[in-house]
């Protein structure tokens, strides 16, 4: 049982695992840093602590971004999309957001696109 | 069987439904417009046409953004994240990205965050 505000919980449309993706954006530059996953409890912790907290699908545990690496995310705002199935966090990211050491998780691989 | 380049297909880590989330960002302003979902074929169509194409989880069909509404997305770049399980599209969005008429799908609902 999560402690998430029932009014907020009532807005969420979770996937089969009870999760929603959370897109994380640097608040001032607009860079998309990463995408994490939250269940109700991770969202509750994020909203009440101001520190971005996710559910790890690979390790099946909560993780507070930066708790190990020191690369913390201070949450400026959290928005829910029109369908209630995606979150957008504006954060202030300390250091690199990616575990590879890159600033964002999208820095390394660009795919080729044909222009119409 | 999708027509997606096997080298790209080999990089993707799909969910149980064969999908990855695609975060869509306006290329010049950095606004996060929406999140859609792609399977291999939707990604193939996006990369080869330069028009953002998604898999609709609710309707179980492909949709080209703007085909009905006219609010088309012209794809400038597609990036794959470090884990291979999320895409980031930079697009030029014509008109509102959200079916509600809002510019982005995240305009309407902000959740309260406690600042540490």
The ipTM of this complex is: 0.96
- Helix (H) / strand (E) element for A61: namely strand A61-64
Please give the Cα distance from A34 to A113 (Å, whole number): 21
Q: How many CB atoms lie within 10 A of CB A27?
A: 15
Q: Which residues of B touch A74 (CB under 8 A)?
A: 116
Please list, in sequence order, all residues whose beta carbon lies within 8 angstroms of the beta carbon of residue B113, skipping any fewer than 6 positions away: A46, A47, A50, A75, A76, A77, A78
What are the pLDDT tens digits along chain A (116 aa)?
A: 679 999 999 999 999 999 999 999 999 999 999 999 999 999 999 999 999 999 999 999 999 999 999 999 999 999 999 999 999 999 999 999 999 999 999 999 999 999 87
Interchain pair B113, A16: CB under 8 A: no
Interchain pair B111, A78: CB under 8 A: yes
Interchain pair A98, B83: CB under 8 A: no
Tens-place pLDDT, residues B17-70: 999 999 999 999 999 999 999 999 999 999 999 999 999 999 999 999 999 999
Instruction: Catalogue all structural domains in chain B, each as residue range(s) with its CATH number.
Output: 6-93 (3.10.20.810)
The CA-based angle A79-A84-A89, given to 5 degrees, is 25
Q: How many CB atoms lie within 10 A of CB B26?
A: 19
CA of B57: which chain A residue's CA is closest? A15
Chain A residues 77-96 within an 8 A CB cutoff of chain B: 77-83, 86, 88
CA distance A111 to chain B (A): 6
Question: B2, B1, B42: which is closest to B22 by C-alpha?
Answer: B42
Question: B25, B66, B32, B26: which is closest to B49 by C-alpha?
Answer: B66
Q: Which one of A8, A49, A108 has the shortest CB-CB distance to B114?
A: A49
pTM: 0.97
A83 known ligand binder: yes
DSSP codes joined into one string, B24-35: EEETTT--EEEE
């Amino acid at each position: 049982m999560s402690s998430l505000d029932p009014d907020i919980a009532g807005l969420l449309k979770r996937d089969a695992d009870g999760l929603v993706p959370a897109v994380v954006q640097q608040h001032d530059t607009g860079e998309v840093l990463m995408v994490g996953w939250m269940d109700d409890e991770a969202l509750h912790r994020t909203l009440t602590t101001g520190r971005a907290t996710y559910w790890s699908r690979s390790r099946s545990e909560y993780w507070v971004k930066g708790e190990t690496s020191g690369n913390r995310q201070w949450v400026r705002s959290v928005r829910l999309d029109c369908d209630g199935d995606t979150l957008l966090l504006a954060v202030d990211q300390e250091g690199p957001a990616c575990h590879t050491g890159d600033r964002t998780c999208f820095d390394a691989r660009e795919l080729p696109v044909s222009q119409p």
